[in-house]
Amino acid sequence: MAQTFEEISAADFFYRNRDIAGFTNPARAVFSSMRELVENALDAADIYSIPPDIYIRLSQEDEAELDEVAVYTLRIEDNGSGIPPRHIPSAFGQVLFGSKYKLKQARGTFGLGGTMAILYGQITTHKPVYVASSTGTSKIYKYKLMIDIQRNRPLILDRKIQINKEKWHGTIVEFCLEGDYFRAMPKILEYLKQTALVTPYANITFIDPKGRLYKFTRVTTKMPPPPKETLPHPYGVDVETIQRLIRITPCRNMLDFMKTHFHRIGENIAHHFLEFAGISEKKNPKKLKPHEIVRLVRMIKRFKGFLPPDASCLSPLGEELLKAGILKELKPEFTAVFQRKPSTYSGHPFIVETAIAYGGDVPKDDFPVYRFANRIPLLYDEASDVSVKVIRYINWRRYKVLPDMPIAILVHVCSTKVPYKTVGKEFIADRPEMKREILNGIREVARQLQRFLTKREHVEKERRRLSVFSKYLPKIARFSTELAGKEKTPDIKKLLRTVRKLEEEKK
Amino acid sequence: MAQTFEEISAADFFYRNRDIAGFTNPARAVFSSMRELVENALDAADIYSIPPDIYIRLSQEDEAELDEVAVYTLRIEDNGSGIPPRHIPSAFGQVLFGSKYKLKQARGTFGLGGTMAILYGQITTHKPVYVASSTGTSKIYKYKLMIDIQRNRPLILDRKIQINKEKWHGTIVEFCLEGDYFRAMPKILEYLKQTALVTPYANITFIDPKGRLYKFTRVTTKMPPPPKETLPHPYGVDVETIQRLIRITPCRNMLDFMKTHFHRIGENIAHHFLEFAGISEKKNPKKLKPHEIVRLVRMIKRFKGFLPPDASCLSPLGEELLKAGILKELKPEFTAVFQRKPSTYSGHPFIVETAIAYGGDVPKDDFPVYRFANRIPLLYDEASDVSVKVIRYINWRRYKVLPDMPIAILVHVCSTKVPYKTVGKEFIADRPEMKREILNGIREVARQLQRFLTKREHVEKERRRLSVFSKYLPKIARFSTELAGKEKTPDIKKLLRTVRKLEEEKK
């Protein structure tokens, strides 16, 4: 039997293995398509700190039965930065092409999701995608595209230019796909709700195939500062990184090289490091031999003098916005939010934010966990996620939390690189550094909840005690009056006030 | 802030996201490297039904401390089919290149793992890989390669041809990588043990960095029949598949087209289907318009007359070999194995094999689950796997199984496409069809275990009853003899035999 060898394109690889990118079945596909495009839209608005207005419409194209797979048209509009016209075809018609291959916090990271949605639409309906985009110039560019999957290249079917009088900026994407909205609906609505929770500065409008309108209105126009791009941290580099830097560096000596291309290396640290590594400061980086590059990487890993990554490039939500989001979506009786100090894993900075909510619209029994990574809600494979493992590990009785209490926990991890375990971004891997931060973050809000519950318990006890007083004191007063043969019962109101006052002082 | 767009190669994508391919940290990397290359070696031996001889050597290159990351050389030799010389560079120096992009059961599926191992070695040690291979011709080809990650292309540093007097066939791969063997050791040994269990016809030799020899010797040379390549089943096709077939088909009419390119469509079914779909049998497939292709796919999904996929292309292990493997590696007191009838999901045939083992070398308390897919042991992310979910769902008390019993369960799924959730092949997704087959398979072996346990309980009870008889009967006999004033006690042996016999008849 002869073996035949072949090369396949990246698009073909993900076409064949679309399950791993979250396109497992018609229900999941409609969820993933919407999600990927909403996240691109939000990222596009973040770049210029524009409070996002996202419009999503899913309409049914054929007359399928309610519980059947049907053809839908998905349209997503945003008011974000727009895409430069020459990049539009590749951005939507090619996998592994994008603007996010940088050390910068972003919702998208793989350069895959948007094109996968369109690819899925194409393989199920054989129809092109329509894209209109403007960066706010005098023109709007409109494309009709398909994907050449075997070559991983866009096919441009049509291209139009329109005058942009209003200087509109943003992107509109519309395409057909086979899906199963009615099976996907609960997850889609949950996704939008959680997105609204973590993006309280966004307007999100969704019109579903039955024409129902779901509107998530912003409660603030305050946005977290946009994430910034950063240089690679020395602890995260490998031989390949160094080689790529050497190829492009304008630096003529190692001192400049170290100072120019790495995160938080200044004159002083560069000097100390090169001395430690026994490398001449004057050495030309382009003249490093392979074994010297390997040695350089090894010495970098051994040197203890580098500063930890600076998290100012990250854009956590902040306690205020997080609280606003929770109050808006869960209307809890009590909530506590907490932002941990920045930490790092393998040279990547990250920040963990946690929150706990009690009562209000929080469901009982469920103990829901809202997981977010770079402001994306994660809805699948909960059991494998690091946060859920941490929550299971905590002894909740210590915090006076009982199994049937209406409590929700929220964990947000933001990083220049979120350690997802899957291309479908379902859950976060179990890194020890992240585990520790999440644990401490949850403990902090759990303690605040405990104080609230203790206080409430106390108030409740006090209320009961006072109600006993106010029930029996009048009787005792009347009885004593009769016993004493007097006419006028003493004023017990004063007495009751004293008891109450005493209690208040104790607190 | 200007956005910069860029395209990255598939190799660059997996380099940046090597976590998702199983190269998370130095311990995991050494495990994954060995695993990927062992699986390629076993696949290469399967092709020609050669009982595999696999030799693995991991040696430490530098003088690192025991608990530190060190540089290792990994060498893997097999006696498999070998790789045709012109394909050697791409097979080891390019991701998404391989011989496994077919509808055929194989250990490897992504065309990724082997090259990822070499890529990981390169980015940590900057050293080339050595490959020697022959398909049994008069020549052995030797290559020294590196990977151009940014272009996803092999770089050939050296190439030699050697005379192959012995007509040796097979492949030898040797490269350096940074790793942490001592942290990886438990998983590596477990991996080899489970591989030996599911491949009882293989010789596997492993020499670890301390020079310790682990040898897994074959117990049989009988091999399961090699898997066969199959055509796509109609229920699994989409618009893209049909288009690709149309592009390459030599058929001039739809009747031939349906008969030639699909699994289990003969004259009769093709005729019925085309009638059902309202497509002329004489229509030239190359003249189908886009909307007709979409309609064709839709009608294929609606037609009820296709035969289920034929599982004869699959190569399950078989009950006999599975039993041999279990007896060899676990030496249990009792074992039951079962092969379910073939089933299908989304047009892919699959077969589930289950086994249960009791006692012997099976550890207590742990309730270990051995998971296999296409004869690969799956060792990570157990909690997310479909088999583990099924096992948790079963009420084990019904089968007389108690928590502290020494019981192991084995599940083997083989398919032309295993629904892995991750590129690292850690666990199988939760498909309802697969869940049902696994559940029924485990129930079957659990019932056999139950019969064994019941019988053993019974035998135990009987043994106790007889021991009571044999203890008191002599005394009663002596006492009665004395009472009767006789001298000779009656022969109770006969009586005991009767009781025993009666019991045996009852069974």
Cβ–Cβ under 8 Å, residues B122 and B116 = no
A133-162: per-residue pLDDT in tens?
999 999 999 999 999 999 999 999 999 999
pLDDT at A1: 45
What is the spatial distance between Cα B12 and Cα B14, in angstroms, rounded to a whole number? Answer: 5
Q: What 3-state DSSP class applies to A263?
A: coil
DSSP B466: H
The CATH class that applies to domain A314-452 reads alpha beta
This complex has an ipTM of: 0.85
Record: contact A5-B423, CB cut-off 8 A: no
Instruction: Output the six-digit token pair for B150.
Output: 């940014």
Residue B103: is its pLDDT beyond 70? yes
Q: Which CATH superfamily is domain B10-216 in?
A: Histidine kinase-like ATPase, C-terminal domain (3.30.565.10)
pLDDT at A284: 96
Q: How confident is the model at residue B443 (pLDDT cuts 50, 70, 90)?
A: very high
Mean local confidence (pLDDT), B11-17: 91
B321-342: per-residue pLDDT in tens?
899 989 988 999 999 999 999 8
DSSP A192-242: HHHHHHH-TT-EEEEE-TT--EEEE--S----PPPP---PPPGGG--HHHH
Mean local confidence (pLDDT), B472-493: 78
What lies within 8 Å, CB to CB, of B419 at 6+ separation is A19, B345, B428, B429, B431, B434
Alpha helical stretches, state H, A199-308: 239-248, 254-261, 267-277, 290-302
> Who among A24, A239, A384 is closest to B124 (CB)?
A239
- Site of tokens 């050595």: B130
Q: Which of residues 7-36 of A touch B (CB under 8 A)?
A: 7-10, 12-13, 15-17, 19-20, 24
Q: How far is A3 from chain B (nearest CA, A)?
A: 6
> Who among B3, B15, B96 is closest to A7 (CB)?
B96
Instruction: Output the six-digit token pair for A335.
Output: 């909530």
pLDDT at B65: 61
Query: Measured between beta carbons, which residues in chain B are less than 8 angstroms from residue A83?
Result: 3
pLDDT at B480: 79
Domain edges within chain A = 10-216, 234-302, 314-452, 460-506
Instruction: Output the six-digit token pair for B301.
Output: 């999904």
Query: Measured between beta carbons, which residues in chain A are less than 8 angstroms from residue B97?
Result: 5-8
Dihedral in degrees, nearest 10, Cα atoms B458, B461, B467, B472: -120
Task: Examine domains A10-216 and A314-452 and report if their fold is the same.
Answer: no
User: pLDDT > 70: what percent of chain B?
Assistant: 96
Record: contact B422-A420, CB cut-off 8 A: no
pLDDT at A507: 46
> Is A87 part of the contact surface with chain B (CB cutoff 8 Å)?
yes
What lies within 8 Å, CB to CB, of B181 at 6+ separation is B27, B30, B58, B60, B70, B72, B188, B208, B209
What is the spatial distance between Cα A203 and Cα A191, in angstroms, rounded to a whole number? Answer: 14
Name which of B297, B305, B303, B304 is nearest B242 in CA terms.
Answer: B297
What is the three-state SS of B51-62?
CCEEEEEEEECC
Q: How far is B84 from chain A (nearest CA, A)?
A: 9
Record: contact B101-A293, CB cut-off 8 A: no
Residue with the larger pLDDT of the pair A505 and B295: B295
B369-390: per-residue pLDDT in tens?
999 999 999 998 887 888 988 9
Assigned fold of B234-302: Helicase, Ruva Protein; domain 3 (1.10.8)
Record: contact B15-A240, CB cut-off 8 A: yes
> Is B482 part of the contact surface with chain A (CB cutoff 8 Å)?
no
pLDDT at B1: 45
Mean local confidence (pLDDT), B145-156: 96
What is the spatial distance between Cα A8 and Cα B102, in angstroms, rounded to a whole number? Answer: 12
pLDDT at B507: 46
The CATH class that applies to domain B311-452 reads alpha beta
B231-264: per-residue pLDDT in tens?
999 988 889 999 999 999 999 999 999 999 999 9
> Is B123 part of the contact surface with chain A (CB cutoff 8 Å)?
yes
Helix (H), strand (E) at residue A411: strand A407-415
Alpha helical stretches, state H, B310-368: 319-330
- Site of tokens 């799956």: B378
Nearest CA in chain B to A297: B124
pLDDT at A248: 93
pLDDT at B464: 86
Q: Give me the residues of chain A with pLDDT under 50, please.
A: 1, 506-507
What is the spatial distance between Cα A30 and Cα B297, in angstroms, rounded to a whole number? Answer: 19
